[in-house]
Amino acid sequence: MIRKILKYLLFTLLTIIVVAAAFFTYANIAVNQRFEKSYQIELKPLTISHDSVSLALGEHLSVIKGCTDCHASDLGGKVMVDDPAMGRLVTPNLTKGKGGLPADYSTEDWIKAIRHGLSRENTPLKLMPSQEFNLLTEKDLAALIAYCQSLAPIDRELPKLEIRPVGVLLTHFDKIPMVPAELIDHHREVVADIPNEVSLENGQYLATSCSGCHRTDLKGGDGHIPGSPKVADITGSGNVGKWTEGQFITALRTGGTPEGKHLDNNFMPWQMTKAYTDTELKSLYIYLKSL
Ligand code: HEC
Ligand code: HEC
């Protein structure tokens, strides 16, 4: 009897292993097809000017759009995560130093990467959140590229990005935004410029940088990675609806909320929102309250 049960258990276990292995092989092939897909896009010409006003705007954008968070504060790239199950997530060195971008990395290549989430070979960049950068105005994109092109070379050679089994499965089930190029309407028209003043329109424009975590309706939801806190509702129906403009600005500059909570920069990146100007935070405030 016992032998029979053992035999049965062993058989069940083997079946589970075989089915799991077959499923993983399938998921791996499907994910690799998504990584290798070639996108055909048409790029509109963009005039890049390296004057001091553009460079200053570009530097500001590189902070408030999170480039310096992921690509390191000097934009020389870094290993963000190295986990045996998940993978090694590496951001490239964006300078022209050793280990950096190739000498012939062109303005078109910059547009492809930032606006479309594509490599120069037209395949998707992994995790590079271009769905948030896709709607950058022509003026902001040009300033950002001008600034990146003028970076002093940094010699930093980094290991290759590698997606390991858990990363493959999370990608397959769309639990992490691994392939932002899939989330972008590559033919969408973009605005040339949005005046830098306190306005609802400017607030709406700036809020695209919050939508990756707070969702497109900005009403929040479950945490992005297992174990991370719930993402707050930041529309008028959440706490922000009760805050004054001053309290909102303090929360985004210090991480301290009127309810006495201290926001953890690892989940809510207030070190990044700290760099927003008064005009930008005031615009965000009126836009979020209006929702
Ligand atoms: C959430 C982290 C994250 C943020 C924020 C981010 N990037 Fe990236 N970026 C990546 C990763 C990861 C890659 C590498 C993707 C790959 O190798 O497939 C990448 C790739 C790139 C590339 C492509 C380089 C190449 O080899 O072709 C450029 C250019 C780039 N990023 C510029 C920027 C700029 C400019 C910003 C800010 C507007 C920015 N990134 C913000 C994660 C990020
Ligand atoms: C990387 C993900 C991420 C990004 C990007 C992000 N947030 Fe958050 N935010 C969070 C998380 C997670 C929380 C909840 C933190 C907690 O409860 O400890 C939060 C909390 C907040 C809170 C506090 C809400 C409350 O009820 O206490 C405000 C306000 C806020 N975010 C505003 C913004 C704004 C404005 C932007 C865009 C400029 C933004 N966030 C971008 C993840 C993010």
pLDDT of residue 222: 86
CA dist 262 and 265 (Å) reads 9
Check pLDDT > 90 for residue 176. Answer: no
Q: What is the structure's pLDDT at 224?
A: 72
Q: Which of 34, 105, 128 to mutate to test the pocket of ligand 1 (most atoms within 8 A of CB)?
A: 128
Query: Model's pTM, two decimal places?
Result: 0.93
29-43, 132-146, 186-200, 210-224: least confidently modelled range: 210-224
Residue 226 has pLDDT above 70, yes or no: no
1 pLDDT higher than 80: no
pLDDT at 199 over 90: yes
Q: In a 10 Å sphere around its CB, with 0-12 CB exposed, 13-18 middle and 19+ buried, how is residue 240 labelled?
A: buried
Q: How many CB atoms lie within 10 A of CB 124?
A: 23
Using one digit for the tens of pLDDT, what is the confidence trace for 256-285?
A: 999 999 999 989 999 999 999 999 999 999
Cβ of residue 255 lying under 6 Å from some atom of ligand 2 = no
Residue 64 pLDDT exceeds 90 = yes
- Give the closest residue to 168 by CA, choosing from 176, 160, 157: 176
Q: In what order do the strands lie in the sheet with 87-91?
A: 78-83, 87-91, 162-163
Region class of 215: left (phi > 0), else alpha (psi between -120 and 50), else beta? left
Task: Kindly give the distance from the C-alpha atom of residue 155 to the centroid of ligand 2, in angstroms, as a whole number.
Answer: 34
Q: Measured from the CB, is residue 88 less than 6 Å from ligand 2?
A: no
Distance 73 CA to ligand 1 centre (A): 13
Between the CA of 268 and the centroid of ligand 2 the distance, in Å, is 5
> What pLDDT score does 212 carry?
85
Average pLDDT value over all residues in the chain: 94
CA distances from 259 to 68, 84, 114 (A): 30, 39, 37
For ligand 2, is residue 105 a contact (CB within 6 Å)? no
Which ligand neighbours the alpha carbon of 231 most closely?
Answer: 2
User: Looking only at Cα atoms, what is the longest distance across the chain?
Assistant: 84
Pocket test for ligand 1, best of 46, 71, 104, 132 (most atoms within 8 A of CB): 71
What percent of the chain has pLDDT above 70? 99
Q: Give residue 191 CA to ligand 2 midpoint distance, Å.
A: 26
Q: If DSSP codes are grouped into helix, strand and coil, which group holds residue 82?
A: strand
State in Å: Cα 258 to ligand 2 middle: 14
196: left (phi over 0), alpha (psi -120 to 50) or beta: beta
